[in-house]
Amino acid sequence: MNVEIINTGSELMLGRVLNTHQQWLCRRLADLGHVVTRQVAIADSGPAIQQAVREALTRADLIITTGGLGPTSDDLTRELIAELLGKKLLKSPEVQAHIENFFARRKRPRPEKTDTETFVPEGAEFFLNATGTAPGLAMKITDGSWKFGDEVGISPSTIYHLPSPPVKWLVMLPGPPRELRPMFDHQVVPLLKREFADEMYVCHTLRTTGLGESRVQELVAAGLQPLVMRGLGVGYCARPGAVDVRLTGGGNRAAALVREGAAIVQKILGENIFGFDDDEIEAVVVERLRAQRKTLATAESCTGGLMASRVTDVPGASEIFLGGVVSYANSAKEKFLVVKSSTLERFGTVSEPVAREMALGAREKFGSDFAIAVTGIAGPAGGSAEKPVGTVFIALASAEGVAVKKFLNVWDRATFKQVTATQALEWLRQVLSA
C-alpha cells in the first residue's frame, strides 16, 4: 500500500513554522502498518495544490492532505480538490448544525466566513471536528473521476497519464494540530481499518552512545545480514552523542524477526545501548535514580548548565535532582565546590584533579548520593597544544569514591556541550545499571 502526505501552507515554504504534521502522521501511519512513501509540502496556491494531488493520484492508494480547510482567504484545499476531481460542493446541514453548536457553546456569534466550512464535495464522507469548526473530508476515488491538467490551467509538461487504479482514498484534514490529531485518531483510523486490510508492521529502535555511526554499522552489520536476507530492515541514524539502530519488518513473521535482530544488536553493542525507541538518556537516568531512591547533583564548567537543564527537562526530576553549580569562574569553583586554589594553580582549570574535586565538593555540599562534574574547553577559543579545544574531564562521585574520565570532543560549541553532557549522563546510567 502506497501512502502519501501533502502539507499545504505558505508559512511552511517560507520556513517560518516547523512541519510537525509530517512526523506525527508518518509515525501514526507507520505504527498502523502503513509506511508513508512520500511527503510533499507546497504553498497554498491553486496550481501547486492541484498539481501535487494529481501527481499523488498516479502513485498512491491513500493520500492525506493537511491544511487549507479553514474560513480565511488562503484556505483553498477543499475547493481546489473538488474542482480537480470534478465534484460539486454541497452544503451539509449536519456540518452546519455542528458549527452553529460550536459557537453557541462558546456564547459567540458564528462568523459568516465559516459558511465555506459547511460545504462538502458530493459523495464525500466528512469528519465532524471535535476541537474546531472545519470538518475533515474523505473521498473515495475511482478511475476517470478527475479532469486533466489543461482543463484546470496546468501546463502540459505536468500532465500525467494515470495507470488504471484500484480504489483510492483522499483524506483532507484541518491544519491546526489540536484539530488534526484527535480527528486522525478517532475518525480517520476507523476508516483506514475499514478500507485497508491491516498489514503487520513492526519498528523497534535501539539507541546507542559512545560509538560513531560507521563503527556501529561495522559491528552489527555482519551479524544482522542473515536476518536482512529474510526481510529485516536495518537503518542507522546519528545524533549528537548518539546513534540509533532501527529494525523494521512487515508481514506475519515481522515481530519475531525484529525480536531476533534486537537480540543480536543487544549482544554485540550491549553496554552502549542506553534505551529504546523514544528514550532519552536523561529520562533513563531520572527513572533509575527514582527506582533506586538515590539523588544527584551536578557541577558544570564547560557545559554551562546544560546537563542540569537536560535532567530537569524530565517531569518529576525534582524527586531525585537536588541541584547543580555552574562554576564558570575559578572563584566559583573554590567558593561553591571547595576546589582548592592550589589545585587550580598547579594543574589548571581543565584537569583531572579539578574535575575530581568538583565532583567530591558537589556531592558533599548538596548531600547527594551521586555527583557528576565536568570541566573542559568548549571553544572556539581557549585551547592550547597540550589541552586543545574539545578536551574534557568528567568526574563521577558516589559513596564508593570518585573516578575521572578524559574525552576529546572536537565539535562546534553547541554540539560540544550536548556531546559532553551525553557522555556524563551515559556514564551515570551505566553505573546505575551495573
Judged by CB, which is closer to a copy of itself: 87, or 206? 206
Q: In Å, how far are 49, 90, 271, 404 from 208, measured between CA atoms?
A: 41, 54, 8, 22
- From 1, 13, 255, 268, residue interacting with a copy of itself (rule: CB under 8 A): 13
Report if residue 380 touches a copy of itself, rule: CB under 8 A: yes
- Residue 15 as a binder of a copy of itself (CB under 8 A): the answer is yes
Can you spell out the DSSP letters for 122-162? Answer: TT-EEE--TTSSSPEEEEEE-TT-S--GGGGT--GGG--PP
Residue 263 as a binder of a copy of itself (CB under 8 A): the answer is: no
CA atoms within 13 A on the CB side of 245: 30
Q: Which of 146, 184, 321, 370 binds a copy of itself (CB under 8 A)?
A: 321
**Backbone φ/ψ region at 63: left (φ over 0), alpha (ψ -120 to 50), beta:** beta
Residue 230 within binding range of a copy of itself, rule CB under 8 A: no
Binding of residue 318 to a copy of itself (CB under 8 A): yes
Which strand (E) or helix (H) includes residue 181?
A: helix 177-183
For a copy of itself, the closer of residues 11 and 287 by Cβ is 11
- Nearer to a copy of itself by Cβ, of 122 and 150: the residue is 150
Verify binding: residue 331, a copy of itself, rule CB under 8 A. Answer: yes
Binder of a copy of itself out of 142, 194, 342, 381 (CB under 8 A): 381
Q: Which region, left, alpha or beta, applies to residue 135 given φ > 0 means left and ψ of -120 to 50 means alpha?
A: beta
Number of Cβ atoms within 10 Å of the Cβ of 426: 23
Shortest spacing between CB 143 and a copy of itself, in angstroms: 13
Taking CB under 8 A as the criterion, the residue among 79, 100, 195, 213 binding a copy of itself is 213
Q: Report whether 218 contacts 210 (CB < 8 A).
A: no
Give 212 or 251: the residue with its C-beta nearer to a copy of itself: 212
Going by C-alpha positions, the residue among 214, 227, 207 that lies closest to residue 269 is 207
Residue bearing cell 476541537: 131
Does residue 2 interact with a copy of itself by CB under 8 A? no
Touching a copy of itself, residues 101-140 (CB under 8 A): 105-108, 111-114, 131
Contact status: 186 vs a copy of itself (CB under 8 A):
no
Question: Does residue 36 bind a copy of itself (CB under 8 A)?
Answer: yes
424 and 372 Cβ atoms separated by less than 8 Å: yes
